[in-house]
Amino acid sequence: RAVDWWNALLGERMEVKNPLPNVFEVPLTLTLVSTYLLMGEFTLQSVVVSLSMVALTFGSTMIHALESTLPRQGASITTLLLAILVWPFILTVDLLSIDSVSFAIGNVVTELVVIIAIPLSIYFLIPLIVPE
């Protein structure tokens, strides 16, 4: 029914394009380089943080792709959806402060699930909400 409401409001169907090909090289590379400069070495922790930043980028990219289809640019839905990504970002920063022993033991599995699940669920659910 929400799609019908959007169609009645806009008079046309919205389309969300998939911007995936360009989205994952830049955050992965920049995060790996910056964590190497901060820590001085590549660890499993820095690779996991880099992959979580890629997941955050996927979610953010899809939110901005949704905004580009809306008739009113800068709509409040974009700001509200981007606010959801703050919590996984804070958890990602927290992963950098955890010592390597706790990280290797696996005490951070729940944080990793939350960090990866929230942005990827946004990435996969927005096209379902706004069908092509």
Mean pLDDT of 72-84: 75
pLDDT tops 70 at residue 67: yes
Long-range contacts of 23-26 (CB under 8 A, 24+ apart): 23/54, 23/57, 23/58, 23/61, 24/54, 24/57, 24/58, 26/57
Whether the full predicted model's pTM is greater than 0.75, yes or no, is no
Mean pLDDT of 94-113: 78
